[in-house]
Amino acid sequence: MSTLGAETAHGELVDKVINVRRCAAVIKGGRRFSFTAMVVVGNRQGRVGWGYGKANEVPPAYDKAIKSGTRNMIEIPLVRSETSTTIPHPVWGIYGSSKVLLIPASPGTGIIAGGVVRAVCEVAGISDILTKSFGSNNPQNLAKAAIAGLAQLRSKEEVERLRGVRLS
């Protein structure tokens, strides 16, 4: 029961459902179901996070996931022009056996990505990016790998400051 859901807005934050899973525990009276939800949350301005929630019904699991995602948000540097937003440099994101390559793209390219990585990029506010995933295509690991890659990004100014040199 893996679905890539529609996006919902909560104030300034936007969220997208990565997947919802159902688990069944067999008890004396029959089956007891529980649900898990994974969402990515972002503000379309360079903040993104993922959240995971578990409950006996889908709506509470979804609400818990959103709450978890807003707590786990990270800030990513973006390169903005008048028509597009991309990332400053290529980067690999790895989580478990999932690997995601994120490459900056020129204006007008759009988001070239699979469903899960596309959702992460959209809620982060990236409008032009090239991606390729390798290894496991588990939606949860892909989302975590994409966010791990975005967390490694450094702006040009930050690299200059860390190295103590001027980049041309």
> Fold for domain 76-160?
Ribosomal Protein S5; domain 2 (3.30.230)
The pLDDT assigned to 6 comes to 65
The pLDDT assigned to 69 comes to 96
- Return per-residue pLDDT of the chain as tens, 168 residues: 555 666 676 678 999 999 999 999 999 999 999 999 999 999 999 999 999 999 999 999 999 999 999 999 999 999 998 899 999 999 999 999 999 999 999 999 999 999 999 999 999 999 999 999 999 999 999 999 999 999 999 998 998 999 999 987
Structure token digits, residue 43 = 């503000």
If DSSP codes are grouped into helix, strand and coil, which group holds residue 116?
A: helix
- Please name which of 93, 142, 94 lies closest in space to residue 103, comparing C-alpha atoms: 93
| Residues constituting the chain | 168
Helix 115-124 / helix 139-151 crossing angle, nearest 10 deg: 40
Residues of each domain in the chain carrying CATH 3.30.160.20: 7-74
Q: What distance, in Å, lies between the first and last C-alpha atoms of the chain?
A: 50
24 DSSP β-pair partners:
33
Q: How many CB atoms lie within 10 A of CB 75?
A: 13
User: Residue 12, by phi and psi: left (phi above 0), alpha (psi -120 to 50) or beta?
Assistant: alpha
Q: How is 37-79 classified by DSSP, letter by letter?
A: EEEEEE-SSSEEEEEEEEESSHHHHHHHHHHHHHHT-EE---E
> Fold for domain 7-74?
Double Stranded RNA Binding Domain (3.30.160)
98 DSSP β-pair partners:
95, 135
What stretches of the chain adopt beta strand conformation (E)? Answer: 7-10, 13-27, 30-42, 47-55, 74-75, 79-80, 85-86, 91-95, 98-104, 111-112, 129-135
Residues of each domain in the chain carrying CATH 3.30.230.10: 76-160
Q: Is the pTM of this model over 0.85?
A: yes
Written as one letter, the residue type at 88 is: P
